[in-house]
Amino acid sequence: MGTSIFNRDFGIDLGTANTLVFVKGKGVVVREPSVVAVNNYTNEIISVGNEAKQMIGKTPGAISIIRPMKDGVIADYDTTAAMMKYYIEKVYNRRAWFARKPNVMVCVPSGITMVEERAVIDATKQAGAKHVYPISEPFAAAIGAGLPVWEPTGSMIVDIGGGTTEVAIISLGGTVTSKSIRLAGDRMDQQIIQFIRKQHSLLIGEASAERLKFELASAKNDSTLEPIEVRGRGLVTGLPQTVKITNEEVVDAMKDTVEGIIEAIKQTLESAPPELSGDIMNRGIVLTGGGALLKGLDKVISKAVEMPVFIAEEPLDCVAIGTGKSLDYMEHFQNSPNVAKRNRL
């Protein structure tokens, strides 16, 4: 199955941290940061994705680095639409793109408002889509993780992204109960920055905080992880400075976010129907998203809720894969009144 003009529908995981595009028959073909560099004087877009991310913290006054998605929703409409157009045109050349406008499945947080959902639909149509079908992030993650979402059995998914953590129990093609919290990867980065500022009087950037999260962080203390040197600006001297950060410090910095995620899981389990609770106890909880890669998180959650917890096979791609696979069930998504109305416009 290719990307001819007769088969051009695709799925987009429009995330706070990264945007992924899934094309039927090809898989994930775009995976880049949701970051845009803009000229402040002309409003011209200078670069998008990886190139723009490399500029963070290093730009002159004439250039702004914008993250158009915040906490899983559109914070900057025009920049989001321009960013999506850029990514879509990376997949299809411009001439083929206008041969037949595609249908697009795009993921949205489960706690999104109707206004926020309309913004996502409109931005995707502005980027060139014919019809747009939003799918809730945890539902897409569950499909991508291979859970039996269409069967009369309970499946529990926890998708820990950049802006939000989505917790949901799914059965018979629908979400039975869900919770969306704004505690996820970005919040972990900010907590690391704040901790180092407070404890070491050192100001570090987002890139350094993200490196510490990937290389040194864990959900509980891990003595096997060696301290890492991090560079920043000393708040006392104002000069460049280097300090060694330990795993224990990073664990302490991110403790509130980990505890918040566990609390959201407990609240979702408490609101589940008893019949589905039994299914989840037998099947366990599945973790997806970048946060699922946090060392030891599965074990910490498992101990807290006293049931098995598994990490999905491709946690970073689950939402994008599920968004693309859901194109096979288009009729299931096109009956939403809000979606039908927006697609007629």
Single-letter residue type at 7: N
- What is the rounded average pLDDT of the residues 102-120? 90
Tokens found for residue 54: 């490399």
| Domain boundary assignment for the chain | 10-33+70-140+319-338, 141-182+263-317, 185-253
Class of domain 141-182+263-317: alpha beta
Residue 134 has pLDDT above 80, yes or no: yes
Q: Which fold has domain 10-33+70-140+319-338?
A: Nucleotidyltransferase; domain 5 (3.30.420)
The rounded mean pLDDT for the chain is 90
Model pLDDT, residue 8: 75
Rounded to 10 degrees, the C-alpha dihedral 73/205/29/317 comes to -70
Lowest mean pLDDT among 4-13, 132-141, 157-166, 175-184: 4-13
Whether domain 185-253 has CATH 3.40.50.261: the reply is no
In Å, the largest CA–CA distance within the chain is 63
Q: Do domains 141-182+263-317 and 185-253 have the same CATH topology?
A: no
Residue 6 has pLDDT above 50, yes or no: no
Single-letter residue type at 39: N
Residue 1 has pLDDT above 70, yes or no: no
- What is the rounded average pLDDT of the residues 216-242? 95
Share of the chain above pLDDT 70, in %: 92
Share of the chain above pLDDT 90, in %: 76
Residue 52's Cβ-side half-sphere holds a number of Cα atoms within 13 Å equal to: 24
pTM above 0.85, yes or no: yes
Residues 185-217 pLDDT 10s: 999 999 999 999 999 999 999 999 999 999 999
